[in-house]
Amino acid sequence: MTQTIKADLCIIGAGSGGLSVAAGAAQLGRKVVLIEKGKMGGDCLNYGCVPSKAMLAAGKRAQHMREAARFGIAGVEPAIDYKAVLDHVYRTIAEIEPNDSQERFEGLGCTVLRDPARFTGEREVTAGEHVVKAKHFVIATGSSPFVPPIEGLDSVPWLTNETIFYMPDQPAHLLIIGGGPIGVEMAQAHRRLGAEVTVIEGGKILPKDDPELVAIARAHLTSEGVRIIEGGKVARVSGSEGDITVHYRTDEGEHAVTGSHLLVATGRRANVEGLDLEKAGVEYDERGIKVNARLRTTNKRIYAAGDVAGGRQFTHVAGYHAGVLVQNILFKVPAKNKEENAPWVTYIDPELAHVGLTEAQAKDQGEKYTIARWKFEENDRAHAEHETSGMAKVVVGKGGKVLGASIIGPGAGDLIGPWALAIANGLKIKAFTNMIAPYPTMGEITKRVAGAYYTPTLFSDRTRFVVRLLSTFD
């Protein structure tokens, strides 16, 4: 028997964006219905950020054992218990899971429905035996792996980020199609855990990042034994379980590589299928749901957040979207989405982080800019840690305004934070030269790269003349 629920807010999708909106609205006393057809916590908790970082952490510990001789400690080849590694991954998920659980959100006052949702009108959604009528809706259904139409893929077993963490057998040779963040992270993790790894990328790996810093990442990956094939256009795949061949073309001709397992990491697409968005008057395209600057769809009562909104596909962007929506829907503040200020991090070792404009983007947009660089080899803490191959690169615009920053090195994901703050608040590079950084820390690099911006002026012939002139007043 159909049951009708009336609510202030109905949220479809219990990932980062949906859960954040639900928690905020419920705690502000609104009647909230939260609908999720899959696992609570969405992709990030179950298939993405959390399991991948847990696996990367295991690989990092294994690599530390191999490289311990640099610190006067006997290095050893670690014995990898892949099942125990997976147990560590699942344990990490389980430790975080209560924050995203149905029980927690019901405790906050939400009505949680565990069924697929579909719109049956402009202000109505059906989920299982329930019909939800709400003042406002938020679509936060996330994204799923995009799998291109590769010949032969229907006849061989293959993995995505949704299945690779739930595969009981350790790969002997992992083939990865795609050299984006997911591809290279899984490449390094599995290589460090003892597998052979080959990455086949149609263009260049990590194409959205600064090529100067990507070159450092590429060198690290290859030095650890990851085979990277760039400019490799995959034509087809063949074989069977445990014996899979990827056939690809390069400028030099046709090639093939054979491995035990295949991971397809060729991007993601918005989850809009099955929602019957047409019945709600919500427009969408291949990128996702069309939204305006306030994240409102073509139906003024319906908003979208996170990956499905067609922008940057990061958990922290979905969380940020939630804040924008709480302001717009609950506080009636016309807050605008400024996700271009959001940083991103690829969690290989060393980490690669970026925020704002890259040098190429600044050039394409006609910005007048200067580049400031500082290498980790100039940092004393980096020498103590034997982590000297990184670099910070900052794009500085007119008047010293910070336009963008890229960092590769240990802890780059943390080091990018101050630069994200600067860009979000329109700060100038001088703000970093004014700060006092503790010694010896990697954080000194932030101050040093800012100082590097002023170095040509500080030690110019003109400045030398001024100093000489001032010395006459002693």
Q: How many angstroms separate the Cα of 261 from the Cα of each of 80, 161, 174, 175, 226?
A: 18, 13, 5, 6, 15
Q: Is 184 annotated as a binding residue?
A: yes
* 105/33 Cα distance (integer angstroms): 10
Q: Is 103 annotated as a binding residue?
A: no
Q: Is 281 annotated as a binding residue?
A: no
Q: Is 201 annotated as a binding residue?
A: yes
Q: Is 154 annotated as a binding residue?
A: no
Long-range pairs for 278-281: beta carbons < 8 A, 24 or more residues apart: 279/118, 279/119, 279/120, 279/121, 279/122, 280/119, 280/121, 280/122, 280/137, 281/122
Q: Is 181 annotated as a binding residue?
A: yes
Packing angle between helix 16-27 and helix 315-325, nearest 10 degrees?
A: 30
Q: Is 179 annotated as a binding residue?
A: yes
* 373/369 Cα distance (integer angstroms): 13
Q: Is 43 annotated as a binding residue?
A: no
Tokens 């940083």 — which residue?
343
Q: Is 142 annotated as a binding residue?
A: yes
Q: How many angstroms separate the Cα of 264 from the Cα of each of 76, 153, 164, 267?
A: 32, 10, 10, 9
**Which pair of tokens denotes residue 116?**
């697929």
Q: Is 370 annotated as a binding residue?
A: no
CA torsion angle 324 328 333 336 (round to 10): 50
Alpha helices, DSSP H only, in 315-379?
Answer: 315-325, 359-364
Compute and round to an integer the Cα radius of gyration of the chain: 25
- The string over 211-231, giving b where at least 16 C-beta atoms fall within 10 Å of a residue's C-beta and e elsewhere, is eebbebbbebbeebebbbbee
Q: Is 141 annotated as a binding residue?
A: yes
* 356/358 Cα distance (integer angstroms): 7
Q: Is 443 annotated as a binding residue?
A: no
Annotated binding site for FAD: 53, 141-143, 307
Annotated binding site for NAD(+): 178-185, 201, 267
Annotated binding site: 53, 141-143, 178-185, 201, 267, 307
